[in-house]
């Protein structure tokens, strides 16, 4: 979606410290040129195909459809990307742009670690130095992802300020960029931040919706009646929705994280239910979860990837104008939806994507039998093994962990030596 | 002429360089921060730069970030802060107050109301480092209306035409960031290119600014030694002391802070 000077209605813009002005201008120019350069686009599609395995399938879910007895249910299988999530579409795009700009290092923030891993993968492939900022608390919760980032050669920096989660990691990435802008690119993971990041990330993610347009026509002879996507930062939703923006008959539903409840601090609902307020922070204007005094607040979701205090200015604008309908799913509904997909279709969804499933499953029984819905399965759930095991109260898992720990060698090699 | 620039011009008749000392409002408590501001003004600093804390201060380094987060363990209120600063301004007429914050708390307070109330409390300048001049049409109009100076920042990597534009827009003073990066000592420092620290390049940068700016020049970011202040004499009007002062305060309270100021400016 094209912005007006970086703005989408009242949202978006560029609110960055002066020190970043030149770097931001460089990205604006480089992106504007790259997206109109057939050579760049050819390389992008080649990398998407050869490195990430695109196009991803559109999978018909017969069992789920029969189970609900309403709409025909299809999944867009972004979980089948290399690295297991849609994040790959964006990091490949920005990675190529970094090479084009002649920079040698990338910085990224990560919450759950998915964007961190995707960035580390691309940095390794393109020969870029890579530093990932991650809240110290998130590092504790998501250590397996941290392990892989380090193995891929990235430096993972624990952020110990504030709540020590994604928001603080983003602040710290901006601080690094303020110092390192001459040779580093801030490879932001979602369609947030100062212009042109929202537009650029949405552009690279729009391959999702572009493929669904072709696949839906080929597989069922029409565009979908409804699209569902979870909304954390908003990049997978932008990717699925934006190519259908002008197709007025295609309805769009964004699903936010209801977490444990609607009290401030218990959820990550910025758009539905009037829980967020307009604000300007972290480089852009959008709806933020904040207190009366404009201080940003803590958030919660069982899915770490949805646990963000702001939201894409593009999604905020489309929600405000009514083009996208926003709803939310609670943690327990999300686990139920995840479990149902496992049992009915043999697919392991990420907890983030399970929000989109939960939102769609609520509507499916009440939709006409000939209607078609497409749910964006933005990521696979292997990474959530610990959280899901805990949520379904698996009896054997604690014993497995105890036994594994007992057999773990104690004189392990220091990571630095290992990397040397 | 702006009140801020007039004050600087007058003070500069007798002093080679003026001091602006930074204090985080509410750190470690509101009362202690007000006591510290009063002490600084009593000791004769020319300006205090008061930072109203924000949860996500992206232009600041670890010392100021930690102080802001500590301060925000209390509920802080913009209106109360402005009234308290107003009282300090009255009590210490020989010094002036500049208020710094990030955009969001002031956006929620109302930018026009912010300019109006700050002006009413005799605050002479406002600094919002994440509000670029291009996005500031309404805010600039409000500042103009209430006769308070918005302070714009320039950096060593600001393009020349933009630097000229920002310098020409400055009235009270122009805030010249001395190097890339965030305030104070930070882990990111070594990522900035060496030449940003280089003496001659700072001289050239300030000379370039002088060509375009009618307003006085303030320099901040990374100042913590007397030699750095001496280097600025004749090239700038104000030396801004932020994280170094906070670090001294954290080490040994007010006395340690005053010791640093005396070592740097006297």
Q: Chain A, 177-196: which have a CB under 8 Å from a chain B CB?
A: 178-182, 184
| Closest-CA distance of chain B to residue A25, Å | 10
Q: What separation in angstroms does the CA of A45 have from each of A42, A89, B80?
A: 5, 10, 56
* Catalytic residue from among A45, A67, A82, A86: A86
How much of chain A, in percent, has pLDDT values that exceed 70? 98
Q: How confident is the model at residue A112 (pLDDT cuts 50, 70, 90)?
A: confident
SS3 B127: strand
Q: Is residue A400 part of a domain?
A: no
Residue A416 lies in a domain: no
Give the number of other CB atoms < 10 A from CB of residue A391.
Answer: 18
Same domain, A59 and A185: no
Residues B176 and B204 sit within 8 Å (Cβ to Cβ): no
For residue B197, what pLDDT is reported? 47
C-alpha–C-alpha distance, residues B230 and A146, integer Å: 47
Q: Cα(first)–Cα(last) distance of chain A, in Å?
A: 44
Nearest chain A alpha carbon to B80 = A293
The residues in B 157-216 lying below 8 A from A, measured between CB atoms, are 157-159, 162, 166, 177, 180-182, 186-189, 191-193
Report the 10 Å Cβ neighbour count for B161.
Answer: 9
Q: In what order do the strands lie in the sheet with A72-77?
A: A58-60, A72-77, A372-377, A226-230, A251-259, A324-330
Is residue A397 in some structural domain? no
Residues A24 and A161 in one domain: yes
Shared-domain flag, residues A264 and A162: no
Q: Is B32 on the interface with A (CB under 8 A)?
A: no
Give the position of tokens 């992106």: A31
- What percent of chain B is predicted at pLDDT more than 70? 97
Average pLDDT over residues A23-30: 95
Strand order in the sheet with A155-159: A155-159, A129-135, A105-110, A184-186
**Least confident segment among A164-173, B72-81, B84-93:** A164-173
Distance in angstroms (rounded) separating the CA atoms of residues A82 and A85? 7
Q: What angle do CA A376, A379, A385 make, to 5 degrees?
A: 135
Q: Note which residues in 104-163 of chain B have CB less than 8 A from chain A.
A: 104-109, 129-132, 134-135, 152-155, 157-159, 162
Among A74-88, A396-410, B193-207, name the one with the lowest average pLDDT: B193-207
Kindly tell me the sign of the dihedral angle through the C-alpha atoms of A266, A268, A273, A275. Answer: positive
Of A180, A279, A280, which has the smallest distance from its Cβ to B191's Cβ?
A180
User: β-pairing, A7-8 with A11-12?
Assistant: antiparallel
Query: What domains can be seen in chain B, in order of their start residue?
Result: 3-265 (3.20.20.70)
How far apart CA A24 and CA A132 sit, in angstroms, is 20
Give residue A338's pLDDT band: very low, low, confident or very high (50, 70, 90): very high
CB A373 within 8 A of CB A72: yes
Q: How many residues does chain A have?
A: 420
Percent of chain B with pLDDT over 90: 88
Where in the sequence is the domain holding A141, given as residue range(s)? 9-49+87-201
Same structural domain, A271 and A325: yes
Nearest alpha-carbon partner for B242 in B190, B158, B186: B186
For residue B200, pLDDT beyond 80: no
DSSP, collapsed to helix, strand or coil, labels residue A221 as coil
Looking at residue B214, the DSSP 8-state letter turns out to be -
Query: A416 pLDDT exceeds 90?
Result: no
Of A175, A281, A294, the CB nearest to B182: A175
pLDDT for B76 equals 97
Number of separate domains in chain A: 2
Segment holding A96, helix H or strand E:
helix A87-101
β-pairing, A105-110 with A129-135?
Answer: parallel
Last residue of a domain, one of A201, A236, A253: A201
Does the residue A3 lie in any domain? Answer: no
CA-CA distance, B102 to A288, in Å (whole number)? Answer: 15
CA B61, CA A123: separation in Å to the nearest integer?
27
Residue A418 has pLDDT above 50, yes or no: no
Highest mean pLDDT pick, A181-185, A387-391, B95-99, B221-225? B95-99
Which tokens in the block code for residue A19?
């020190």
Residue spans of beta strands (DSSP E) within B60-162: 96-100, 123-127, 149-150, 153-154
Whether residues A359 and A237 share a domain: the answer is yes
Residue A22 distance to chain B (closest CA, Å): 7
Rounded CA separation B191/A183 (Å): 9
Domain check: are A192 and A220 in the same one? Answer: no
Closest CA to A331 of A387, A257, A388: A257
Instruction: Tell me how far CA of residue B168 lies from CA of A406, B88, B141, B214, B215, in angstroms.
Output: 69, 31, 16, 7, 8
Is residue A60 scored above 50 in pLDDT?
yes
Q: Which of B46, B60, B149, B237 is catalytic?
A: B60
The reported pLDDT for the residue numbered A1 is 81
Which range, of B82-86, B154-158, B190-194, averages the lowest pLDDT?
B190-194
Contact A282, A170 (CB under 8 A): yes
DSSP summary character for residue A365? G
How far apart are the CA of A157 and the nearest CA of chain B, in angstroms? 11
ipTM entry: 0.94
Residue A411 within a domain? no
A230 catalytically annotated: no
CB contact under 8 A, B56 and A283: no
Per the domain annotation, does A414 fall within a domain?
A: no
Residues of B within 8 A of A181 (CB-CB) are: 157, 180
pLDDT at A242: 98
Dist CA B74 CA B29 (whole Å): 8
Query: Which candidate from B69, B129, B191 shows the least CB-CB separation from A179?
Result: B191
Residues of A in contact with B159 (CB under 8 A): 21-22, 25
Q: Which of B90, B188, B73 is nearest to A131 (CA)?
A: B188
Mean of pLDDT values over B52-69: 95
Backbone angles phi, psi at A90, to 5 degrees: -75, -45
Domain identity same for A181 and A303: no
Do A249 and A325 lie in one domain? The reply is yes
Specify whether A86 is catalytic.
yes
pTM: 0.95
Indicate if A73 and A156 belong to the same structural domain.
no
Q: Which residue has the tokens 């709409």?
A: A71
Tell whether A186 and A275 lie within a shared domain: no
A309 closest CA partner among A254, A366, A271, A341: A271
Instruction: Give the DSSP per-residue string, A251-309.
Output: EEEEEEEEET-SSTTS-B-SSGGG--EEEEETTEEEEE-B-TTS-B-----SSGGG--S
CATH number, residue A281: 3.40.50.1100
Give the span between the Cα atoms of B94 and B74, in whole angstroms: 31
Residue A18 covered by a domain: yes
CA distance B61 to A179: 11
For residue range A214-235, list pLDDT tens digits in order. 999 999 999 999 999 999 999 9
**CA–CA gap between residue A91 and residue A32 (Å, rounded):** 17
Task: Kindly state whether residues A163 and A230 are assigned to the same domain.
Answer: no
Helix residue ranges per DSSP H, A131-286: 136-141, 143-151, 166-180, 197-205, 207-220, 235-241
Cα separation, A141 vs A162, in Å, equals 17
Which among A179, A181, A183, A296 is the top mutation candidate for probing chain B, defined by the most B β-carbons within 10 Å of its own β-carbon?
A179
A243 with A264, same domain: the answer is yes
Residue where a domain terminates, one of A201, A234, A252: A201
Check if the beta carbon of residue B107 is closer than 8 Å to that of residue A277.
Answer: no
What is the Cα–Cα distance from B169 to A310, expressed in whole angstroms?
32
Per-residue pLDDT of B209-225, as tens digits, reads 999 999 999 999 999 99
Task: Please indicate whether, in this complex, the C-beta atoms of B54 and A294 are within 8 angstroms of each other.
Answer: yes
Let me know: does B261 contact B241? Beta carbons within 8 Å: yes
> Which run of H or of E encompasses B166?
helix B160-169
Within a domain: A126? yes
pLDDT at B148 over 50: yes
């Amino acid at each position: 979606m094209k912005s007006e000077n970086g703005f989408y209605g009242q949202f978006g813009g560029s609110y960055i410290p002066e020190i970043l002005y030149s770097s931001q201008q460089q990205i604006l120019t480089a992106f504007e040129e790259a997206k109109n350069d057939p050579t760049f686009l050819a390389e992008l599609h080649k990398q998407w195909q050869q490195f990430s395995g695109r196009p991803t399938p559109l999978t018909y879910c017969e069992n789920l459809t029969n189970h609900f007895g309403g709409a025909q249910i299809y999944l867009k299988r972004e979980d089948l990307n290399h690295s297991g999530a849609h994040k790959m579409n964006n990091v490949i795009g920005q990675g190529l742009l970094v090479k084009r700009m002649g920079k040698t290092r990338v910085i990224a923030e990560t919450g759950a670690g998915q964007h961190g891993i995707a960035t580390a993968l691309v940095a390794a492939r393109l020969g870029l130095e890579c530093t990932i900022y991650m809240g110290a608390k998130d590092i504790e919760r998501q250590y397996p992802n941290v392990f892989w980032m380090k193995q891929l050669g990235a430096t993972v920096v624990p952020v110990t300020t504030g709540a020590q989660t994604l928001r603080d990691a983003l602040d710290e990435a901006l601080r690094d960029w303020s110092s390192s802008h001459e040779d580093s690119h801030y490879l932001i993971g979602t369609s947030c931040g100062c212009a042109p990041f929202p537009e650029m990330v949405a552009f690279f993610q729009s391959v999702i919706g572009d493929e669904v347009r072709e696949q839906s026509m080929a597989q069922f002879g029409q565009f979908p009646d409804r699209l569902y996507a979870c909304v954390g930062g908003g990049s997978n939703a932008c990717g699925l929705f934006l190519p259908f923006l002008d197709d007025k008959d295609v309805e769009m539903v964004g699903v936010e994280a209801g977490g444990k409840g609607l009290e401030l601090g218990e959820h990550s609902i910025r758009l539905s239910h009037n829980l967020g307020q307009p604000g300007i922070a972290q480089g852009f204007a959008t709806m933020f979860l904040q207190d009366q005094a404009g201080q940003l607040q803590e958030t919660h979701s069982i899915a770490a990837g949805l646990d963000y205090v702001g939201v894409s200015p593009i999604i905020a604008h489309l929600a405000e104008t009514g083009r996208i309908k926003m709803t939310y799913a609670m943690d327990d509904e999300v686990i139920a939806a995840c479990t149902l997909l496992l049992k009915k279709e043999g697919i392991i969804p990420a907890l983030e994507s399970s929000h989109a499933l939960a939102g769609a499953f609520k509507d499916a029984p009440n939709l006409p039998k000939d209607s078609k819905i497409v749910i964006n399965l933005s990521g696979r759930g292997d990474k959530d093994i610990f959280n899901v095991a805990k949520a379904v109260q698996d009896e054997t898992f604690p014993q497995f962990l105890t036994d594994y720990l007992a057999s773990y060698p104690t004189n392990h090699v220091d990571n630095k030596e290992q990397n040397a | 002429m702006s009140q801020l620039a007039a004050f600087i011009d007058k003070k500069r008749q007798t002093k080679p360089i003026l001091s602006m000392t930074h204090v985080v409002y509410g750190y470690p408590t509101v009362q202690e921060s007000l006591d510290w501001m009063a002490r600084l003004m009593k000791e004769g600093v020319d300006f205090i730069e008061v930072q109203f804390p924000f949860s996500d201060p992206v232009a600041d380094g670890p010392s100021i970030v930690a102080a802001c987060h500590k301060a925000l363990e209390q509920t802080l209120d913009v209106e109360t802060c402005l009234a308290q600063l107003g009282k300090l301004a009255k009590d210490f007429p020989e010094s002036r107050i500049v208020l710094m914050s990030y955009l969001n708390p002031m956006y929620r307070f109302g930018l026009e109301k912010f300019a109006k109330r700050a002006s009413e409390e005799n605050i002479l300048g406002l600094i919002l480092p994440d509000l670029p001049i291009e996005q500031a049409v309404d805010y600039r109009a409000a500042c103009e209306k209430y006769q308070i100076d918005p302070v714009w920042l320039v950096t060593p990597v600001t393009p020349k035409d933009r630097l000229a534009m920002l310098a020409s827009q400055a009235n009270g003073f122009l805030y010249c960031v001395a190097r890339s990066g965030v305030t104070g000592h930070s882990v990111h420092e070594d990522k900035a290119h060496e030449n940003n620290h280089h003496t001659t390049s700072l001289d050239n940068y300030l000379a370039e600014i002088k060509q375009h700016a009618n307003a006085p020049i303030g320099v901040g970011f990374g100042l913590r030694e007397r030699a750095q202040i001496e280097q600025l004499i004749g090239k700038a009007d104000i030396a801004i002391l932020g994280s170094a002062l906070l670090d001294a305060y954290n080490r040994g309270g007010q006395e340690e802070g005053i010791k640093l100021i005396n070592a740097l400016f006297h």
